[in-house]
Structure 1
């Protein structure tokens, strides 16, 4: 019987050539130390979330003074100007509140941005895989790769999920950032602010400004990921300036890609960010920076909705008001987005996570 099997294996095939049978290795004979263990999906998810959280915390802390200055410029009352510009505003904060004043609200910001960034990067990876799988189901697209438009869609999904999951933290962070030592209402911290707003203004107040936030996050986060990934792909493929070494981009080049992505995204979405921030202040009549005079609520900000906020802002302050705080935001966004992308990839390398956001 064994000789018959051997003869059959050596017999010519239909094409007239002898069929070659490769002996496949038996897995049971491979020593245990040689076998590579299957990847643990739970561990991989946790590593991705950790990398995203670290990226968010590092990038926001690096630009915390500019973040606070941006918010103060966005919400200050046009009839009671304290901050005439970025440099003057930072000097004023330093003089009146000291070094700690420059980082006021950063703890709350990091408490929000760490889970936000973790969810955002992880959601982008999963949305990219899902969108690409759906795209490949179409006839003729079986071997398709992610295009800038598909990346834009994946980034938009990631932004909406992350924003919605952490929005109450963003809302109270804005109020903690705006309040000063002279504000009659003093929030003592994140939990106190959350509970106070919930009790005094109702649960819906925690999501005030959510709609312009979600609308704004679609172009902002979507363009961030799309521009960053597309720029990297183009540089690796075309290598126009000789920047690619061993099919890899340097940290400096990736920082530049992140800076370009952040600049494009924030410029498009900035007016919605201004409206969101102003709507978050509605109902807080003791916010010293959004009332006329010396803390008296003579002209508090009141908007009935997103459209009303747009209309009143443009009517009373002009179209340029939609870009209040753009200068510190632009200076902030360039390093912030760049640091976030690069930190995410570096931390994933350190943790040994195979999948990159490009894949």
Structure 2
């Protein structure tokens, strides 16, 4: 792969191979990050037990969704037996008492929704980025920003109906308000950071380390910049989820601006950045693992295709 992701890199592999690369990346990311959120929710349940009808957000860095407590703390993946003194203690005690598989008890819903969403998103981004770069001429540096935004809109539009069928609480609009700016900033900074790191390390092809660092940094920047929208989205999801779980009459759907004003009035401007560290700790490694795995997969298929093409050229000559 070249430092500037030329058209030949993307054309060097088929869309199906791009889909395989993004699928493997989503699965690996889910496997590595899910235990962190399972432990976080167990610690949260211990500190403040979830009563029936209470909602909480489950997020592993790839996507998030609302979970409703149906019978108190009866569901295994957020049940809170014993006492945990911290994250490491929770990891050790959960593994000892319940087995290592319990750390991935939140994995199935992630795989059902996150994998297809990620495959659509990453494949669309690559295809759009190449098409936009070829048409934008000297303004091609902006292509990742536009491609990232458009790819996120497309993925959210396709996946949102499936999510609505499952929970009726996600909503297309609030998702776009957070995820489209995130995606635009993420891809723009990622491509910029990857190019800079390649120049810094004097390498034509971005290594796994280069893509990992670029993914982590760009993901961190986007996560911090869009945190207020994440706070608003989470609050709206939780409120709507609890209303539905308790069979309460739904109130008028508040606008994003009105929710922001309410948060500022109650908690000050810092309230819009609540959960800063947990979001950063989760999103940064998820972005780094996902993009580096995806780029590795594309490089693998590109090399494989070139090796297959050599005997064909030799035989034809």
Fold conserved between structures, TM > 0.5? yes
Task: Please name the residue that 1:146 is paired with.
Answer: 140
What displacement does 1:267 show? 0.8
Q: Matches of 2:259 and 2:43 in 1, distance apart?
A: 16
Q: 2:244 touches 2:250 (CA, 8 Å); kept in 1?
A: no
Cα offsets for 1:144-203 (capped at 9, x unmatched): 4731x22111111111111222235556xxxxxxxxxxxxxxxxxxxxx82xx4xxxxxx
Displacement after TM superposition at 1:62 (Å): 1.1
| Equivalent in the alignment of 2:297 | 347
Tell me which residue corresponds to 1:265.
Answer: 222
Give the direction of change, closer, same or farther, for the CA distance of 1:158–1:55 in structure 2 (3 Å limit). same
Q: Give the root-mean-square deviation of aligned CA atoms.
A: 4.3
Does the CA contact (< 8 Å) of 1:53 and 1:115 recur in 2?
Answer: yes
**Alignment of structure 1 residues 241-260 onto 2, 5 Å:** 243-245=201-203, 247-260=204-217
* Correspondence 1:50-65 to 2 at 5 A: 50-65=20-35
What is residue 164 of structure 1 aligned with on the other side? 157
Total equivalences in the alignment: 260
User: Hey, what does 2:181 align to over in structure 1?
Assistant: 219
Q: CA deviation at 1:112?
A: 1.4
1:304 aligns with 2:271: no
Question: CA separation of 1:327/1:69 partners in 2, compared to 1, >3 Å: closer, same or farther?
Answer: farther
TM-fit CA distance, 1:352: 3.6
Alignment-derived partner of residue 135 in structure 2:
134
- 1:230-267 deviation per Cα after TM superposition (whole angstroms, max 9, x unaligned): 1122233xx33xx234x223212221111111111111
1:118 aligned partner: 119
For residue 248 of structure 1, give the secondary structure of its aligned residue in structure 2.
coil
Compared CA separation, residues 146 and 332, structure 1 to 2 (3 A): same
1:66-103: CA deviation from partner (whole Å, max 9, x where unpaired): 345778999xxx9x9x9xxx984786798799566654
Cα drift, residue 53 of structure 1: 1.6
TM-score where L is the length of structure 1: 0.59
Aligned equivalent of 2:309: none
Q: Which has the larger radius of gyration?
A: 1
Q: What's the offset of the Cα at 1:220?
A: 0.8
Matches for 1:288-327 after TM superposition, within 5 Å = 304-305=253-254, 306-327=256-277
Q: Displacement, 1:57?
A: 2.0
Equivalent residues of 2:40, 2:87 under 8 A apart = no
Where is the helix percentage greater, Structure 1 or Structure 2?
2
Query: Separation in 1 of the partners of 2:230 and 2:148?
Result: 17
Checking the alignment, whether the CA contact within 8 Å between 1:69 and 1:90 is kept in structure 2 is: no
Q: Show structure 1 runs of 5+ residues with no match.
A: 1-40, 136-140, 172-192, 198-204, 289-296
Which consecutive residues of structure 2, in runs of 5 or more, have no partner in the other structure? 1-10, 51-55, 57-83, 307-317
**Mapped contact 2:220–2:280 kept (Cα < 8 A):** yes
Q: CA 1:170–1:325 in 2, change beyond 3 Å: closer, same or farther?
A: farther
Query: Normalising to structure 2: TM-score of the pair?
Result: 0.66
